[in-house]
Structure 1
Amino acid sequence: MLDRRAERETLERLLDSVRAGKSQVLVLRGEAGVGKTVLLDHLARQAAGIRVARAGGVQSEMELAFAGLHQLCAPMLDGAEALPDPQRVALRTAFGLSPGPAPDRFLVGLAVLGLLAEAARDRPLLCVIDDAQWLDSASAQALAFVARRLVAESVALVFAVREPAATAELTGVAQLVVEGLPDAAARDLLDSVLRLPADDRVRDRIVAETRGNPLALVELSRGLSPKELAEGFSLAGATTIPRRIEQRYQARLARLDADAIRLLLIAALEPQGDPVTLWRAAGLLDIGSEAAEPALAAGLIEIGTHVRFHHPLVRSAIYQAAAPSERRRAHWALAQVTDPETDQDRRAWHAAQAAEAPAEEAAEELGRSACRAQSRGGMAAAAAMLERAAELTADPRTRAKRTLEAAHITHVAGTPEEALRLLSIAEAGPLDRLEKAQADLLRGRISMTVNRGREAPPLLFAAARQLEGLDVRLARETYLDALLAGMFAGVTDADLREVAEAARAAPRSPQPPGPADLLLDGLAIRFTDGFAPSLPVLRRALSAFRNPELSLKELHWLWLAHIMAGNMWDEQTLDTARHLQLARDKGALNTLPLALASHIGAHVYAGDLVTAAHLRDELAEVSRATGIPAATYGTLLLAAWRGREDEARDVIARTEAEAVRRGEGFGLLIVGSARAVLCNSLGYYAEALTSSEAARQRPPVMGVEPWLALVELIEAATRLGETAAAEDAFAKLVETTRASGTDWALGVEARSRALLASGEDAESAYREAVERLSRTRIRGECARARLLYGEWLRRRRRRADAREQLRTAHDMFTEMGMEAFTERAGRELRATGGTARKRSVETGTELTAQEAQIVRMVREGLSNAEIGARLFLSPRTVEWHLGRIYDKLNVTSRRGLQS
């Protein structure tokens, strides 16, 4: 602890903040030996009145799911009983304490956040995680999630990371770079360890070449000969300081006898530091207790109630110096003494590392461990285990099969590039027909995930055809995937028709059709026979999706059902609140962004832009918390209908650029339609016409031309006198509206027909539009019908009648927050001699976006725990936010927020 004044002050300020009730996160970064662990020890010693929990990443445990997290959280697990049920179950499943479906990784992170907050209820909590670069990926993701959500829990998370290790999970977290000691302190340290006098120039050169690294100063100067101290010192030929230190440790190892080296190797491979396990494994190799003496005397290791190395570099130096055969013997011994009942996975991993390929028994056991890791949500660990199992497999077919399974799990774990590498290896082996089809399916799904462009549809179509005679249910799911990929990519009608025809001809499952089966049947009919013939089956599908007992797999397709509902003018299925609730109740956080985006769109159509804006902010929070990109189409519709031109154009431009990058035709269709809505609201009819015509040129997403673009085209074209274009679009529009027959569909049709009509026909159509749309929840379209009717009446000099319609439209637009349409209605109303009443809309200008969300959820009757679960916050942070909200709004309790 020579010098380090600035670092110590930073750490002490962190402790002061935690004692004051705030949460803190800090990452110490620096090269090996620079003093990060010493600073962590200092931090723990200074934490008077604070509960301290410690954990450390261990290189040999990187393939054991949640190993690091369990190490940190095990002493606190009693507090799990206070967590909401989904979080408690997810945490217990992740730690292998109870069976259950694989938990969502973000739900595990939320559970850990709640657990740490609960542990800090009585006194502040300091969590110290050393060597975070060696955490298993599941633990690293969970802790990084927690780090970004801590606010007011009185919890500190302090990580130490060795540079230049890649720890992308902690990007953006506050950093403290730990560098070498200043020259004066470095010289003092050097003088304290040099046993022989040294020339000043030599001392200066040692300080310069070690860059003040304390461990390098101690270890590299130890044992320097008088000649070296007299003639000079150089690190020439060493690639890095850590590697040079490792070489010094290895030189000390070389002076030990064989049993001492073997004992150290066993200790290096036993990450828990358990002396009982160490001595039991050593006994199997006929290593006695006397073997420890030379290692202890060399200062490489301490063996007490816990086995500790002088520095983590000692562990890696021992491992690097050992011959492969010696490593295998040490792993074998550890496998023999590891309890097969309580520690199956660590035993299997040691056994696999001990094996010389091929070793089928070890491979099978590792495969079982992979299944257990997968059931706990440790997908990256499961993939690593399966890859190692494949390496140990002699039979080429079994090896290819295990590699294919590893590729699949790697894709699920969110690393598509690695999944493609494994997939290529698997495809080079002898796969059977089913496995080849599964490989094609995986390649298509990876393409769909990475880039929803034109690569995925043919891959998925080919996989579906191969699966027909092998796995009927999987074949049907793959046909639905292929149709979905084609619709998103905007492939041609002919391509979609080919997929649809194949799907209709494919064998059917003997089981009763579920929601996804009916959805596939309806879409296949739509792309072959047309819109109207598909409606009966599609309505059955949408009805099936309203079943409250949807499985997680069926929940995956629910967002597509919402898109279908919009295209079918079915406002009942457009009720997306249940989708959102199911995603939350089932802990399906991977589907939550799509559920939120669908819910935003539904609220936009219902004219509730205030709630839609709150949901948009919640979606942004979910995206930040989970790292899952936000689905932008609900936000796009919100921006277009709200009508704030600069804001809307920015959202439109960003969404368009992303859709172009992905080659996603569906996105470009929605972008063109949204731009047309915005331009019509602003009165930019020429641009609206251009945008809606461009959207029409995109291949139909659902087998018909997009009604949103058609409706905007009709209004813009009639304003510009482009009657032929409007009539052509109207002819296409009625193909869906009349087949649907809902008030929403027929109301919009009547409004569009009125724009093309004159005299009594026009007035009758406007009245029908207002009447029908007033019976729906689609308030924005209803207000537009009144606006257009009022404008038509004003042009016929029926000012009193016009004022009635325009004032109602103006009030509706104002209440909904549709600012451009409000301004347009106000101009028309003033032109009739009327006065536009000003009415305020809830904007939450005194509150932050997150505070406004919390107020809305309090008004919904949610508890702090329920609000925290939605916003990925701990209940204590919600409570802290409520205190700030009370001060801002001058209320004293939750009851005050209800008014």
Structure 2
Amino acid sequence: MSTSPPFRDRHNERDALDQLLSAVRAGQSRVLVVRGEAGVGKTALLDHLVRSAADFRVARAAGHEYEMELTYAGLHQLCAPVLGMRERLPPPQRDALAAAFGLSAAPAPDRFVVGLGVLGLLSAVTAERPLLWVVDDAQWLDKTSALTLAFVAHRLLAEPVGLVFAVREPSHVPELGGLAELLIEGLGDSDSRALLDSALPGRLDELVRDRIVAESRGNPLALLELPQSLTPTELAGGFGVLDASPMADRIEQSFLRRLDSLPAGTRQLLLTAAADPIGDVALLWRAADRLGLGADALAPAQSAGLIDVRGRVRFRHPLVRSAIYGTAPLPDRERAHRALAEATDPDADPDRRAWHRAHATTTPDEEIAAQLELSAGRAAQRGGIAATAAFLERAAELTPDPARRGGRALTAARATFESGAPDAADKLLAIAGLCPLDDLQRARLARLRAQIAFALRRGTDAPPLLLDAADRLAPLDPRLGREAYLEALGSAIFAGRLNEDVGPREVAAAARNAPAAGPEPRPVDLLLDGLASRFTEGYVASVAPLRRALHAFGPEPDDFMRWFWLPWLIAGDLWDDTMWHEVATRATQLCRDAGALIALPLALGNRAVVHLHAGEFAAAESLAEEAIAITDATGNAPVRYSSLLLAAWRGAEAETLEYATWGLENVLARGEGRGIGGHGYATAVLFNGLGRYEDALAAARTACEYDDLGIHGFALVELIEAGVRCGALDEAAEALRRLEERTNAAGTDWAHGVRAWCTALVSEGAAAEENYCEAIDRLARSRVAIHLARAHLVYGEWLRRENRRADARGHLRTAYDMFTRTGAEAFAERARRELLATGGAARKRTVDTRDLLTPQEGQIARLAREGLSNPEIGAQLFISPRTVQYHLGKVFTKLEITSRGQLGRLPESKLRAV
């Protein structure tokens, strides 16, 4: 039986698919999303693609509307034929695939490692011949499969792999955003008429033909199916009434009219087949036997061209399946699911059996609800948080006891939130809120609702909600209460100056009245107490308790992953560059390992800022871009501050101001007051680099109007330089007084280094020179290379004004070289101008590694230089070993070397420039 309309035209579309195969045969990966409405011919084009790939290993999968809750169901269809090759993979990847596909009882695998395992499988398979993976109806893929396949699609490069998705609308599968698309539109009028004539024997009234062609808009399936719904009279004279319903609905109606003429037993058999998405013929016949249906029930459906059961159950079109299932009476659907549940092996596939049982009844049933709860636990072990929530949601619906129903809905909401779907979690909370929860559950519900508000907006609505939840939790569960106070304090830090009623001081005061931590305080308790001190007693009093919290924090990975963003801000506020680096690095790795898509963008942004201050701009850019891609995919609050700061330090005025304008509009709309300080600091850096000190002073004033944690101290530095250059000496002196109070209490080399060169800016003579020299000495012992370069710059500028040109040239040339290598173009140009003013010549910058290597090539070059193998580099960067080798080949060519060993002999500055 044909499963798709015959071809008419489609020359351009087929050429595009043929070109995809040609590129893959040449060893280049290709990914394509074939997009078009239902019935427009996507499946026919996929059939053509598969027929044209006779020399490929081909795997084909299809999303199913009723399988969207089953974790990795779609991915398993593609991987099942080659899973035997997983033994060739490194143990972590091999184990992750085994856990994901239920082949082991291992804990939940990291989604990133599963994706890397799939990339490894692709590399193993394509060692023999090219591979083609085809996914039809991708809009119905389960979320975990969609995320994993999108992960793989974005990282394919050097493998001979073709990955083609068919989808109705991109919005249906946001995970596939950014991939190449092929839009499939309706046929032209002449081809539409020819196809219509081939479907209708005999003469057709011209007016009727024109009506059908116009109504179908060139949709091939509509041209074949809509005439089947017209009476002979309508076909002869066109007296029917035009239907204004959507095309998919009209095609479904055509199928349903054909279904109405079938015997009752045939309709029940078709419904049973539609209710099971896996297409297992043996399962269908076992279920049919329980329904008292024999082979004779199938014949009329086959004669009508609706279904094919050769090898696998396949409907003529997905609209046939949806039409049959969606319009069937509820008792008939329940009967079909009950038969399928009874026919499913409870040991081999307990989750699918539980799912069918759950859809076989609308009556509350604790036994079924309990089975679904067990299935949720197994889904969680496989890493299927979305599936966990789906099982628990259905379990809640079938739970007879209202109190237990509320608890299950609350747990489902938590799982949904953690999967990166806060909006869906909020709907589950509404269900839980209608149940008779106890006080602790009510407090937990309030806390989760506040956490959702914070995740979505990080604005002014979250602090009062979280503070209220903390006040409720504290007397019921002091440990949870203290955690909620810390969350409230963190949200108040983000809301900042825009939240006058429930700001950090108010939350800190409430937290100090919370139950004590006990004799063995957790790192979280130390963090809460330290921050409470910071906002009630001031900066100096908080340094010691906050430093204790930083050094105690992190033994438990789960706690660290939840709270890392606060320790990171604190480390920056304390000018502790070592802890700043360690927190960001560990947080990024832990979030990657856990597939924590809500927390990972923050971790990536934090680490990007650390790289930026270390003068590693390319690495910072790579991480910042990854953070943006994840928040775009999940719909969570954007994390673009690192991109803004990077543009500012590079001196890219247009880009910085574009980010700043967008960012300010965004943070003001959300109520994230901290963003105002961050954007003020970033634009002050930009204008100080460009030498536009009046503009820098105005921006720094905005940043310094409020004590934003982890920003205020940095902004004071910019205000001091801008104030000195503009002649606002009193303002600069006052800012220096505030900076000295902080840096002297912090006591690190970074703190003393910036304090010393800021002090030098407002000093004269020997005092100024002593401080400049101290700044360079201190900062040279830190990780913040960009500040060391700036200390050389301001010292060189001072020396030139002191008419010590020879001394000035050395520091200015050092500053120029450092800024040039890192890519801080505006500061480099400022150093160049000063150097020319001394009579020196700035060496013309040659094309170096930074110009040649992309950020990813730079990362791979650095890791290879450290001695990591291709699989180890691939595991760290989430790309395949073959892609690593491909990039290394380009690195060798660009750097004019021939081996990994030569990377180690390159000067450190050469690789730092990438």
Match of 1:723 in 2: 729
Verify: 1:286 aligned to 2:292, yes or no: yes
Once the two structures are TM-superposed, the CA of residue 653 in structure 1 deviates from its matched residue by 4.0
Match of 1:569 in 2: 575
User: Is the contact made by 1:328 and 1:354 (CA closer than 8 Å) also made in structure 2?
Assistant: yes
Match of 2:182 in 1: 176
Match of 1:266 in 2: 272
Verify: 1:137 aligned to 2:143, yes or no: yes
SS of the counterpart of 2:503? helix
**AA at the equivalent of 1:579:** R
**AA at the equivalent of 1:464:** A
Match of 1:586 in 2: 593
Between the aligned partners of 1:871 and 1:165, the Cα distance in structure 2 is 28
Match of 2:685 in 1: 677
SS of the counterpart of 1:339? coil
User: Is the contact made by 1:619 and 1:630 (CA closer than 8 Å) also made in structure 2?
Assistant: no
SS of the counterpart of 1:116? helix
**AA at the equivalent of 2:398:** L
**AA at the equivalent of 2:56:** I
After TM superposition, the structure 1 stretch with the greater mean CA deviation from structure 2, 473-482 or 109-118, is: 109-118
Verify: 1:96 aligned to 2:102, yes or no: yes
Between the aligned partners of 1:3 and 1:844, the Cα distance in structure 2 is 51
Verify: 1:525 aligned to 2:533, yes or no: yes
Once the two structures are TM-superposed, the CA of residue 432 in structure 1 deviates from its matched residue by 1.5
Match of 2:671 in 1: 663
SS of the counterpart of 1:341? coil
Match of 1:3 in 2: 8
Verify: 1:691 aligned to 2:678, yes or no: no
Match of 1:210 in 2: 216
Match of 2:523 in 1: 515
Once the two structures are TM-superposed, the CA of residue 697 in structure 1 deviates from its matched residue by 0.8
- 1:237-636 alignment runs, 5 A limit: 237=243, 239-490=245-496, 491-492=499-500, 495-508=503-516, 512-545=520-553, 550-576=556-582, 578-579=585-586, 582-583=589-590, 586-588=593-595, 590=597, 591-606=599-614, 609=615, 611-621=616-626, 623-624=628-629, 627=633, 631-636=639-644
Once the two structures are TM-superposed, the CA of residue 556 in structure 1 deviates from its matched residue by 3.5
After TM superposition, the structure 1 stretch with the greater mean CA deviation from structure 2, 737-746 or 164-173, is: 164-173
Between the aligned partners of 2:739 and 2:814, the Cα distance in structure 1 is 27
User: Is the contact made by 2:63 and 2:142 (CA closer than 8 Å) also made in structure 1?
Assistant: yes
Once the two structures are TM-superposed, the CA of residue 50 in structure 1 deviates from its matched residue by 0.4
User: Is the contact made by 2:588 and 2:607 (CA closer than 8 Å) also made in structure 1?
Assistant: no
Structure-2-length-normalised TM-score: 0.90
Between the aligned partners of 1:831 and 1:49, the Cα distance in structure 2 is 68
**AA at the equivalent of 2:38:** A
Q: Give the % identical residues.
A: 53
Aligned residues: CA RMSD: 3.1
Verify: 1:194 aligned to 2:200, yes or no: yes
Once the two structures are TM-superposed, the CA of residue 456 in structure 1 deviates from its matched residue by 0.9
Judging changes above 3 Å, is the alpha-carbon distance between structure 1 residues 215 and 233 closer, same or farther for their aligned structure 2 residues?
Answer: farther
Match of 1:124 in 2: 130
Judging changes above 3 Å, is the alpha-carbon distance between structure 1 residues 344 and 803 closer, same or farther for their aligned structure 2 residues?
Answer: same
- 1:818-837 alignment runs, 5 A limit: 818-836=824-842
Verify: 1:735 aligned to 2:741, yes or no: yes
Once the two structures are TM-superposed, the CA of residue 875 in structure 1 deviates from its matched residue by 2.2
**AA at the equivalent of 1:487:** I
Judging changes above 3 Å, is the alpha-carbon distance between structure 1 residues 289 and 165 closer, same or farther for their aligned structure 2 residues?
Answer: farther
Once the two structures are TM-superposed, the CA of residue 835 in structure 1 deviates from its matched residue by 4.8
1:701 to 693, 709, 714: 709
Match of 2:25 in 1: 19
User: Is the contact made by 1:23 and 1:150 (CA closer than 8 Å) also made in structure 2?
Assistant: yes
Once the two structures are TM-superposed, the CA of residue 33 in structure 1 deviates from its matched residue by 3.2
Judging changes above 3 Å, is the alpha-carbon distance between structure 1 residues 734 and 274 closer, same or farther for their aligned structure 2 residues?
Answer: same
Match of 2:237 in 1: 231
Between the aligned partners of 1:767 and 1:180, the Cα distance in structure 2 is 73
User: Is the contact made by 1:205 and 1:233 (CA closer than 8 Å) also made in structure 2?
Assistant: no
SS of the counterpart of 2:577? coil
User: Is the contact made by 1:180 and 1:213 (CA closer than 8 Å) also made in structure 2?
Assistant: yes
Match of 1:640 in 2: 648
Between the aligned partners of 1:875 and 1:313, the Cα distance in structure 2 is 41
SS of the counterpart of 1:394? coil
**Which ranges in structure 2 are unaligned for 5 or more consecutive residues?**
1-5, 907-914
**Which ranges in structure 1 are unaligned for 5 or more consecutive residues?**
none
Measured against aligned partners, the alpha-carbon deviations of 1:694-713 in whole angstroms (never above 9, x if no partner) come to 111124426xx822122222
Between the aligned partners of 1:501 and 1:692, the Cα distance in structure 2 is 29
**AA at the equivalent of 2:621:** R
Measured against aligned partners, the alpha-carbon deviations of 1:500-547 in whole angstroms (never above 9, x if no partner) come to 2332332345684343332222112222223233222222222234x6
Match of 1:146 in 2: 152
**AA at the equivalent of 1:502:** A
Judging changes above 3 Å, is the alpha-carbon distance between structure 1 residues 476 and 95 closer, same or farther for their aligned structure 2 residues?
Answer: farther
Judging changes above 3 Å, is the alpha-carbon distance between structure 1 residues 270 and 700 closer, same or farther for their aligned structure 2 residues?
Answer: closer
Judging changes above 3 Å, is the alpha-carbon distance between structure 1 residues 25 and 233 closer, same or farther for their aligned structure 2 residues?
Answer: farther
Once the two structures are TM-superposed, the CA of residue 767 in structure 1 deviates from its matched residue by 4.1
Verify: 1:33 aligned to 2:39, yes or no: yes
Once the two structures are TM-superposed, the CA of residue 269 in structure 1 deviates from its matched residue by 1.1
**AA at the equivalent of 1:177:** L
1:219 to 216, 225, 233: 225
Judging changes above 3 Å, is the alpha-carbon distance between structure 1 residues 741 and 209 closer, same or farther for their aligned structure 2 residues?
Answer: closer
Between the aligned partners of 1:30 and 1:726, the Cα distance in structure 2 is 62
Once the two structures are TM-superposed, the CA of residue 58 in structure 1 deviates from its matched residue by 1.6
**AA at the equivalent of 1:583:** L
**AA at the equivalent of 1:582:** Q
SS of the counterpart of 2:134? strand
User: Is the contact made by 1:815 and 1:839 (CA closer than 8 Å) also made in structure 2?
Assistant: no
SS of the counterpart of 2:351? helix
Between the aligned partners of 1:326 and 1:514, the Cα distance in structure 2 is 56
Once the two structures are TM-superposed, the CA of residue 644 in structure 1 deviates from its matched residue by 4.5
Judging changes above 3 Å, is the alpha-carbon distance between structure 1 residues 539 and 48 closer, same or farther for their aligned structure 2 residues?
Answer: same
Between the aligned partners of 2:219 and 2:612, the Cα distance in structure 1 is 59
Between the aligned partners of 1:172 and 1:433, the Cα distance in structure 2 is 46
Once the two structures are TM-superposed, the CA of residue 328 in structure 1 deviates from its matched residue by 0.9
Between the aligned partners of 2:661 and 2:233, the Cα distance in structure 1 is 70
User: Is the contact made by 2:505 and 2:536 (CA closer than 8 Å) also made in structure 1?
Assistant: yes
Measured against aligned partners, the alpha-carbon deviations of 1:345-374 in whole angstroms (never above 9, x if no partner) come to 111111111112222222222222223223
Between the aligned partners of 2:565 and 2:847, the Cα distance in structure 1 is 30
Match of 2:912 in 1: none
Judging changes above 3 Å, is the alpha-carbon distance between structure 1 residues 827 and 163 closer, same or farther for their aligned structure 2 residues?
Answer: closer
Once the two structures are TM-superposed, the CA of residue 55 in structure 1 deviates from its matched residue by 0.9
After TM superposition, the structure 1 stretch with the greater mean CA deviation from structure 2, 733-742 or 762-771, is: 762-771
**AA at the equivalent of 2:709:** V
Once the two structures are TM-superposed, the CA of residue 52 in structure 1 deviates from its matched residue by 0.8
Between the aligned partners of 2:845 and 2:35, the Cα distance in structure 1 is 54
Once the two structures are TM-superposed, the CA of residue 158 in structure 1 deviates from its matched residue by 1.9
Measured against aligned partners, the alpha-carbon deviations of 1:831-878 in whole angstroms (never above 9, x if no partner) come to 445555556584432344433333333323333233334444322223
Between the aligned partners of 1:181 and 1:654, the Cα distance in structure 2 is 42
Between the aligned partners of 2:666 and 2:639, the Cα distance in structure 1 is 11
**AA at the equivalent of 2:629:** R
Between the aligned partners of 2:847 and 2:575, the Cα distance in structure 1 is 28
**AA at the equivalent of 1:148:** H
User: Is the contact made by 2:508 and 2:536 (CA closer than 8 Å) also made in structure 1?
Assistant: yes
Judging changes above 3 Å, is the alpha-carbon distance between structure 1 residues 471 and 803 closer, same or farther for their aligned structure 2 residues?
Answer: same
